């Protein structure tokens, strides 16, 4: 049975993926630096800001409650490891950082940080519109159980 050009074109479209998410940057990359709890640097020089999370700040002269713990948790998860990046509708923030959901060894860091209380939910539409309730539910549980920032900080620096 001969294969037609139309059949080949259709197969190529299916093979290329059905996701509506943009291809903003690498699908996999190695982490070379952990800036803080929600920002990392990659071996290709790009910086990545995690979607849907906001950790407390640790910058020169500014160390919010639980900021160092969030950075340390992030470092333990991703430093020196190969990560998988999944993008949403908008690729970069106003600082030029890639915006992504980051996974390591099949575990998504973004949800884990909220679930464990190292981060609060930060929703900037249109990114995360389809996952907002999932993240809010994780945060509500962390808050109710006093995990991380919710049990250690008063007030919680990243709470909206």
Question: What amino acid positions are annotated as catalytic residues?
Answer: 49, 57, 97
The whole-number pLDDT of residue 11 equals 37
What is the signed CA dihedral for 79, 39, 37, 101, rounded to 10 degrees? -90
- Assign 135 a pLDDT band (cuts: 50, 70, 90): very high
- Assign 154 a pLDDT band (cuts: 50, 70, 90): very high
Q: What domains can you pick out in the chain, each with its CATH number?
A: 20-152 (2.40.50.90)
Give exposure, 99-114, as e/b (b: 16+ Cβ within 10 Å). bbbbbbeeeebbbbbb
Q: What is the pTM of this model?
A: 0.84
Read off the pLDDT of each residue in 107-131 and give the average, rounded to a whole number. Answer: 98
Query: Is the pLDDT score of 98 beyond 70?
Result: yes
Nearest partner of 13 among 5, 2, 25, judged by Cα = 5
Q: Is 31 helix (H, G, I), strand (E, B) or coil?
A: strand
- Assign 103 a pLDDT band (cuts: 50, 70, 90): very high
d(CA 111, CA 11): 34
């Amino acid at each position: 049975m001969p294969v037609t050009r139309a059949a080949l074109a259709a197969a190529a479209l299916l093979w290329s993926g059905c996701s509506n998410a943009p291809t903003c940057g690498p699908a996999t990359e190695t982490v070379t630096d952990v800036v803080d709890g929600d920002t990392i640097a990659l071996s290709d020089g790009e910086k990545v800001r995690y979607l849907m999370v906001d950790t407390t700040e640790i910058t020169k002269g500014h160390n919010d409650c639980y900021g160092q713990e969030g950075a340390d948790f992030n470092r333990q998860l991703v430093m020196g490891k190969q990560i998988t990046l999944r993008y949403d509708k908008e690729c970069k923030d106003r600082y030029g950082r890639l915006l992504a959901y980051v996974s390591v060894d099949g575990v998504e860091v973004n949800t884990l940080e909220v679930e464990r209380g190292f981060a609060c939910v930060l929703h900037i539409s249109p990114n995360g519109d389809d996952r907002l309730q999932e993240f809010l539910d994780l945060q509500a549980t962390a808050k109710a159980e006093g995990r991380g920032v919710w049990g250690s900080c008063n007030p919680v620096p990243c709470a909206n």
